[in-house]
Amino acid sequence: MGEATKDIEALIELMARLPGLGPRSARRAVLHMIRKRAQLMTPLADALHHVAATARECLNCGNIGTADICDICQSERRATGEICVVEDVADLWAMERAAAFRGRYHVLGGTLNALDSIGPEELRIPRLIDRVAAENVTEVILALNATIDGATTAHYIAEQLEGRVKVTSLARGVPMGGELDYLDDGTISAALKARKAL
């Protein structure tokens, strides 16, 4: 095997480590990039190089950006007094895609989990409490996953912030376009509990 082929094999091996890709799909992706070298591979390599050098966690909220303080935390327009607490940066991105929330975020970096010894100190909960005091926060919105771990974490945070600030959580129930027939019992009962007058 020549040196050049070795390099390509190494690239395929690295690509295969990405989530959602296996060796076969990595091979296809690399082949595609080589064929589209100018339009795809070179810009991708430049972007990867740049992001690898600059990407970092926001010191304030845990979002990923290219500066110590992310754009959202820096923006005065986002200082609405509301902080939306999410589990992961992917959840923050999902909220931003929806463009329904104009305040700031706080990324916990996980949920409380006794099995994996993840306690409040392993998450950014102490930092959240500091922010509530320092940033004139009027409402903390807990946008955590509707799982047992997510709910445990939400209750813990609500307990810590009790009496300091208004704490709310996302509603649970029927998704947009959802059909009752296909919903699980838990979602139906949660939706029924959270019903509202029309």
Partner 1 sequence: MEWRDEGALLSVRRHGESAAIIEVFTAEHGRHAGVVRGGASRRISPILQPGAQLDLTWRARLDEHLGSFTVELLRSRTAAVMGDRLALAGLNAVTALLSFSLPEREPHPSLYARTITLLDLLGTSPAWPLAYLRWELALLDELGFGLDLSACAVTGAREGLAHVSPRTGRAVSAEAAGKWADRLLPLPPALLGHGEGELSGVARGLVTTGYFLRTRLAHQLGNRPLPEARQRLVDAIARYSAPSA
Inter-CA distances, 187 with 42, 99, 164, 172, 178, Å: 47, 25, 31, 7, 11
Binding mask 6-35 vs partner 1 (x if CB under 8 A, - otherwise)? -------------xx---------------
Which residues, 88 to 147, sit near partner 1 by CB under 8 A?
Answer: 114-116, 119, 146-147
* Residues contacting residue 122 through CB under 8 Å, at least 6 positions apart: 109, 110
Q: 60 or 111, CB closer to partner 1?
A: 111
Both tokens of residue 103?
């305040």
Given the rule CB under 8 A, which of 8-16, 37-45, 129-137, 150-158 is the region that contacts partner 1? 150-158
Local structure of 127: helix, strand or coil: helix
Pick the binder of partner 1 from 3, 163, 180, 193 (CB under 8 A): 193
| Coil, helix or strand at residue 1 | coil
Q: Which residues bind partner 1 (CB under 8 A)?
A: 19-20, 114-116, 119, 146-148, 151-152, 155, 158-159, 172, 184-187, 189-190, 193
